[in-house]
Amino acid sequence: MTDAPHTMNRRQLIRHSAWFGAAVGLAVAGGEVISHIAGTAEAKQVQARPTLRFAQVSDSHIGFTGKANPDVAGSFSQAIGRINNLGYTPDFVIHTGDLTHLATPEQFDHVKQMMTGLRTPHVFTVPGEHDSVDDAGQKYLSAFGAGTRGDGWYSFDIAGVHVIALVNTLNLKKLGHLGVEQLDFIAKDVAPLPNDTPIIVFSHIPLFAMYPDWGWATGDAAQALSYLRRFSSVTCLNGHVHQVFSKTEGNVTFYSGTTTAYPLPHPGDGPAPKPVTLPAGKLHDALGIREVGYIRGQSALALKERALQ
């Protein structure tokens, strides 16, 4: 063979460059078209209001003192400001637990006082395990338990959506735990609902097995989810893991939310989920809030993660 197979003359180089340029150009144009279609579809959805819009905030850990975040109250205050400046008034705000770090009366007073600054008609909460460190959640219930059932669970309907707030941080050993009484509540609560009712479930600990070795799962969640399988759209939002994560199992989608306090390691990254100290200036990129929108007739909720930065 006389021709070296891998050498390229000037003309070939120009030709390949032209093809490469065409590939890049077409890809950019294609991306623009897809984004435009997606934007148009979303704009149509926005026009399709009235709908439900709410914000999720989680794991404020008021009272935490550590170098991972020396000012958790300041971060939580920023989160409240972020929610108050979304450009609309959310229908409600849900705090998915670990409002306080050590469940002292002062910390509950502090966080409750701060949350009065949220500009929304309703503020809902579920307890985290940090909110019930020494009294099985009694101080939490005194501060936030008004109108709830059992040990703090409840449900309500808003804009055609059925919302269930669960408590899986009491009686927990390693994994989250709902218990027989609460499971019975869920079964009876959803029994009269038609299958096309959109369901949103709040809990602190994930209802899916995100990382059971670190307790990032709920032992008896399968029983609870079995009551929800018949519904066409079920969305479960949780806190506890201090990071964004999502998982879909059939008709049920799980979304873990981030924190306003300090990040935790990714699942299995290290021996235990200890607070992670980020380099200076990086902390607020890891903290945030979540906007959630529901359009009538859509099975999936639209989520937007907003960093505190």
Partner 1 sequence: MTFVDATFRIGIAAATAVSGISHAYLYIHGYQHIPTIGAAFVLQASVSFAVAALILIGGPEWLVWAAAMLAGGALIAFALSRTVGLLGFSERGWQPSPHAAVSVVAELLTVGLWVAYLVSRRRVGARG
Q: Which residues bind partner 1 (CB under 8 A)?
A: 15-16, 19, 22-31, 34-35, 37-38, 41-42, 243-250, 267, 300, 302-305
Cβ atoms 237, 201 nearer than 8 A = yes
Query: What's the min distance (Å) between Cβ of 45 and partner 1?
Result: 10
Report the C-alpha gap between 166 and 25 in whole angstroms.
Answer: 50
| Contact of 255 with 249, CB cutoff 8 Å | no
Give whichever of 128 and 293 is closer to partner 1, judged by the CB atom.
293
Comparing CB distances to partner 1, the nearer of 108 and 231 is 231
Nearer to partner 1, 17 or 65 (CB): 17
| Nearest CA-CA partner of 230 in 246, 250, 207 | 250
Pick between residue 167 and residue 301 the one whose CB is nearest to partner 1: 301
- Shortest approach of partner 1 to residue 301 CB, angstroms? 9
CA distance 52 to 54: 7
For the chain, what is the radius of gyration of the CA atoms? 23
- Supply the minimum distance, in Å, between the C-beta of residue 191 and partner 1: 26
Helices (H), 67-194: 72-84, 105-115, 138-144, 180-190
Helices 72-84 and 105-115, axial angle in degrees (round to 10):
20
Question: Is 278 or 302 the residue whose CB approaches partner 1 more closely?
Answer: 302
53: part of which helix (H) or strand (E)? Answer: strand 52-57
Question: Closest separation between CB of residue 296 and partner 1, Å?
Answer: 15
At its nearest, how many Å lie between partner 1 and the CB of residue 73?
27
Q: Are 199 and 157 in contact (CB under 8 A)?
A: no
In the complex with partner 1, the residue whose CB is nearer, 24 or 46, is 24
Q: Are 28 and 272 in contact (CB under 8 A)?
A: no
| Cβ distance to partner 1 smaller for residue 115 or 237 | 237
Query: Parallel, antiparallel, or unpaired: how do β-strands 199-203 and 234-238 relate?
Result: parallel
* In the complex, minimum distance from the CB of residue 251 to partner 1, in angstroms, rounded to a whole number: 9
Nearest approach, Cβ of 203 to partner 1 (angstroms)?
18
- The closest alpha carbon to 224, from 239, 240, 241, 205, belongs to 205
The secondary structure element, H or E, covering residue 39 is helix 10-47
> Cα dist. 182→105, 114, 148, 228, 297 in Å?
26, 30, 12, 14, 29
Backbone φ and ψ for 234, nearest 5 degrees, come out as -130, 125
CB of 21 to partner 1, least distance (A): 11
Residue closer to partner 1 (CB basis): 111 or 200:
200
